[in-house]
Amino acid sequence: MNRPSRTRLMGMGMLVVTFAAGLLAGAASSRALSARETEPQAATAAECSDRRGPHSIFEKLSLSPEQRQRIDGIMARRRARMDTVWQEHGAPIRAAHDSARAEVRQVLTPAQQAEYDRLRAAHRAERERREAKEKQGMSDGGSR
């Protein structure tokens, strides 16, 4: 009689998925910020404006060089902490995320599964394209 209802279990599952997605998004943001901060040449405001994420906020604040340097230090420390957390807990987070994705896929019709897979592959390809472009920009040289 005290067994949790299916709705309650689904709700708890969605909370876990949301938490895992947030952790992954935070880790991805941290990595994106770390890549940008280590670029030899600073991104222009126009380049930042078409990218999403908290990094673009700094470009809009007209920071002084001292402020930018201090913020870069804060972000570097945060990145180091996030890398440590990701190294220690990344595998279970990824497993939880993958498990939730598999469960979601089971709810979909075969046609929806195919579209879901196609959209995920497109998203992955776009992310890899952006990362390759950022790495190419870093290897082109230049100075801050």
112 within a domain of the structure (yes/no) = no
Instruction: Classify residue 144: in a domain, yes or no.
Output: no
Q: Which residues span the domain enclosing 36?
A: 6-107
- Assign 3 a pLDDT band (cuts: 50, 70, 90): low
Place of tokens 């598999």: 102
pTM over 0.85: no
Q: Is residue 63 part of a domain?
A: yes
Mean pLDDT across the chain: 75
Closest to 55 (Cα-Cα) out of 65, 66, 64, 42: 42
Residue 25 is assigned to a structural domain of this protein: yes
The domain tally of the chain equals 1
Cβ(103)–Cβ(10) below 8 Å: no
Model confidence at 17, pLDDT cuts 50, 70, 90, reads confident
- Residue for token pair 């943001």: 29
pLDDT in tens, 29-85: 666 555 544 444 444 444 444 444 455 677 778 888 999 889 888 888 888 888 888
41 near 48, Cβ under 8 Å? no
Residue 53 lies in a domain: yes
The reply to whether 114 falls in a domain is no
Number of H helices, E strands in the chain: 5, 0
Identify whether 132 is part of a domain.
Answer: no
User: Does 133 reside within a domain?
Assistant: no
Return the pLDDT at 1: 52
